[in-house]
Structures are given as structure tokens and as C-alpha cells.
Structure 1
Amino acid sequence: MSISINSLSVEFSAKSLFDNISYIINPKDRIALVGKNGAGKSTMLKIIAGLQKPTSGNVAMPRDTTVGYLPQHINVSDTSSVIDEVRSAFSHVDKMRARLDEINNELLTRTDYESDAYQELIETMTSLTDRLAIEESENFEAEIEKTLIGLGFLRSDFQRPTSEFSGGWRMRIELAKILLARPDVLLLDEDRK
């Protein structure tokens, strides 16, 4: 599951940030991008995460690769508790359930059992059912608690509003969400002064 960065170039206002950069990220690689402010480190991470397009070149990665990206500056909701904010890492499970319900409802009304479209729906339903069974076999609450405690939170912090925490602690809340999503690739954009 290598990620290939191919001839990336980025220009802002006709000024080159970087030009013709190529490299490969192999499984289990741990890579640090080091450089002065404005050198393009955050831009490179955003491109790999798929959040920004390069001027030229591309990033090639296997189709089902998931990328977790923790930016330098984050927006954590100020209207929820720590535990509720972190639970949002599992919103994809709700989306899978909703999609499965849609497919089931559609299958109830269809009669074109031999068509390719019907077979495609059946395959999608089977795949979603399998993925959902794996996801739901996890004990979300135990995983959330373990992750938050591992990041330095106390159990008494779980019900506190996120608005009571400093920027560094909010960053940990966001990191907990990313870790719980178990991405294949983890990109941490950290600003060291």
C-alpha cells in the first residue's frame, strides 16, 4: 500500500513553492517534513490528504486508503462535551446504517431481479452489511475511554464542555477522533516554534 508522490509542483501568484517533487511513502514509514515557515510543509500534507490540489503532478494511492489529517489549526465544536465530540468519530457507522436502510427499501419495491443494477445493489448491501458487522463488533465506548485516557484526559473531563479546554487540549480531542477512525495513513501538521 505505497503512496506515490509524482512530480508535484505548487505555485502561488506565479511564485513556486516547490517544483517537481517525487517520492514514495511505503507502509510503516514514519516521515518528518522539516523546514522554515512558508516552505510548503502544510501544503504538502494537505495535498496528500486530498484537501488541496497541486499546480501539477499527482498523488497516487490505493483506492480504499483512508487518510487521517490533523491540521495545525482546528475547529472543535464548543457546543458539546468531550465525549460527545469524540463519539462523532463513529458517525460513519450511522451513515452506513442509513445507506443500508435505503438499499433495503429500494429492494422492496424493485422487481428487476435479473438486472445488473439489482445485482449491484445486492453486492453493495452485502459489502455494507459485512463492514457494519465488523464496526459494530467493536465496543465504541471502551475504545473512546481508552483513547481519551491515553491522551491525558481524566474520566471527570469526559462530560466537560470542549469550550473549557485550551487549544492544546482541543487538539487532543481532534487527535482522539482521528485515532478512533483508524486511518491507514496519519498526517500530523504540527507547528514547532
Structure 2
Amino acid sequence: MLTVSQLSKSFAGRALFDDVSLQVNRGDRIGLVGPNGAGKSTLFALLLGDVSPDKGTVAIEKNATIGFLPQETAAAGDETVLELACSKVAHASSLRAEEKRKLEAYATFDEHGGWELEPKAKRVLAGLAFRETDFDRPARALSGGWIMRAHLARLLVMEPDLLLL
């Protein structure tokens, strides 16, 4: 699913890593550990295509989805905790409104698993220690750690092929 070949990256003349190769197959669980400044976040940025390597290639299986939880506190807006967790389909809430008005939206909503989205998100949120009373709270009212959990819930609901934490 993911192939990294002879990847090298340096900043300001300092090599973060050189000639890194790895293969990640479906179902693999891999831990990436190292001290601060070792290049872990840079490697994730390379895998996501946010940064270009000095040398080497990153190949991701066609149509593979990637979920990423940044190290920093993720932003939270006016959405509720449940809406944030349900945002696996960026336009799911608008699809709910449209399905009442248009038959085409019904098919799209169904195709994206819309009927199961909210119950699944509630199960995931509960598994991450959210109480049912938290589901309708504005996400911006949460502490940074709880916002991070809400974003983690979104990724778990999304079920990406590759999850970078």
C-alpha cells in the first residue's frame, strides 16, 4: 500500500535521514519512534506530499485513503463534537439536508455510508471516553486534548487505509 524507496531529506545542511526504504502493507501496524528533531514529523510530511524529498520516492497505492492526526492541537470551529467526528465525508451534513430535497443526493448519501455514519461516530466517541452529553457541545469549547480526541474519532470513523498518528 505504501512504498518508500531511498528517501533522503536534509535541512540547513543537516541530514535528517538518508536512503530510507520501507514497505507498508494493508494490515501492518508500525511504530515510528525517535528523539525530538530526528525527522519523524518530516517523514510524515513527505508521506503526505506536503514536503518534497531531496532524493527518493514515495508511492501510495492508487485510491488509498490517508488519515493524519497532527502533533499540534487541531483546530475546532463551530461544529459540535459529533459533527466533527462525522466529518469523514466533508459534505455529509449538507448531504443530509439535500437528500430530503433531491433523489440524487439520497443515492450519494447512501453510497457514502451516511445512514451508519452518526451511530458509528457515537460508538467511536464513547470508546474515546466522550459522554453522550458531550456529543452536542461545540468542539471549540473543549480543551486541546479533547479536541485532539475528537479529531482522532473523525479519523477512526473515516477508516483510512493509512493512518498517521
Fold match (TM-score > 0.5): yes
Q: Aligned letter for 2:47? A: I
Other-structure match for 2:147: 170
| Larger gyration radius, structure 1 or structure 2 | 1
TM-superposed CA distance for 1:94, in Å, is: 7.1
Match 1:145 to one of 108, 116, 122: 122
TM-superposed CA distance for 1:26, in Å, is: 1.8
Deviations 1:35-85 (A, max 9, x none): 110000111122122222212211112111111111101332242321222
Other-structure match for 1:45: 44
Give yes or no for the alignment of 1:3 onto 2:5. Answer: no
Q: How does 1:81-160 map to 2 (within 5 A)?
A: 81-93=80-92, 133-136=110-113, 138-160=115-137
Question: C-alpha distance in 2, partners of 1:141/1:94?
Answer: 10
Query: CA 1:160–1:130 in 2, change beyond 3 Å: closer, same or farther?
Result: closer
Q: How does 1:17-96 map to 2 (within 5 A)?
A: 17-93=16-92
Aligned residues: 156
Question: C-alpha distance in 1, partners of 2:114/2:78?
Answer: 29
Other-structure match for 2:101: none
Q: Aligned letter for 1:50? A: G
Question: C-alpha distance in 2, partners of 1:4/1:131?
Answer: 32
TM-superposed CA distance for 1:92, in Å, is: 4.8
Structure 1, 13-22 or 82-91: larger mean CA deviation: 82-91
Query: CA 1:84–1:96 in 2, change beyond 3 Å: closer, same or farther?
Result: closer
Larger fraction in helix: 1
CA contact (8 A) 2:73 2:145 kept: no
Long gaps (5+) in structure 2: 97-105
**1:90 aligns to what SS in structure 2?**
coil
Deviations 1:115-168 (A, max 9, x none): xxxxxxxxxxxxxx9876432464222111111111110000111122332221
CA contact (8 A) 2:6 2:18 kept: yes
Question: C-alpha distance in 1, partners of 2:150/2:34?
Answer: 27
TM-superposed CA distance for 1:93, in Å, is: 4.9
Question: C-alpha distance in 2, partners of 1:87/1:12?
Answer: 38
Query: CA 1:170–1:94 in 2, change beyond 3 Å: closer, same or farther?
Result: closer
CA contact (8 A) 1:49 1:68 kept: no
Long gaps (5+) in structure 1: 98-128, 189-193
Question: Once superposed, what is the RMSD of the aligned Cα atoms?
Answer: 2.4
